[in-house]
Amino acid sequence: MEQDPESKRNGYSSHSYLETLDIGLLPIYNSKLFMQDNGPIHTAHIVRTYFNNNRVYYLVSWPPYSPDMNPIKHLWPWLKQLIYKLAPDINSITNKDRQVDRSIEVLPMAWSKIPLKTVEGCLKSMRSWL
């Protein structure tokens, strides 16, 4: 996701989120329930309008203080470590398109190196969150 220079602290905004949805969600969306947390960029009026205009069904009221039941969040540290191990040059690439290409090249290799026991452990731990 691209940072928005118009946002606070040059971070992310509902506009940069919409660009990401255009690229990453709409081409593969199949009328299933789309889930996101209650982050301000996710709940902005412009995002809700976008979902309605594109017939994206989304969870309207994510429960506050709900447990994060997405096992991928627990795998990110593994994935990041493996990416930097496989591509130590990735942060020194200044061309954004080249950096994305390098990431796409390395990600499948990094995923394949995460031990299956680690993935299974993350999935099994979800039972204790309920």
Report pLDDT for 69.
Answer: 65
CB 3 within 8 A of CB 10: yes
Would you state the structure tokens that stand for residue 80, as one six-digit string?
A: 């990041």
Nearest residue to 87 (alpha-carbon basis) of 106, 66, 108: 106
- The answer to the question of residue 2 being in a domain is no
45 is a domain residue: yes
- In the chain, % of residues over pLDDT 70: 92
CA torsion through residues 97, 99, 100, 102, sign: positive
Q: How many domains does the chain have?
A: 2
Query: Which residues form the domain of 89?
Result: 72-129
The answer on 82 and 49 residing in a single domain is no
Give residue-wise pLDDT tens across range 44-102.
Answer: 999 999 999 999 998 887 765 566 667 777 888 889 999 999 999 988 988 888 988 99
pLDDT, mean over the chain: 86
Which pLDDT does position 116 carry in this prediction?
A: 92
Shared-domain flag, residues 123 and 80: yes
Residues 48 and 78 placed together within one structural domain of the fold: no
Residue 101, φ and ψ in degrees, nearest 5: -60, -40
| The pLDDT value given to residue 71 | 74
Q: Would 112 be classed as within a structural domain?
A: yes
- Residue 24 inside a domain? The answer is yes
The arithmetic mean of pLDDT across residues 3-10, rounded, is: 78
Judge whether 15 lies within some domain. Answer: yes
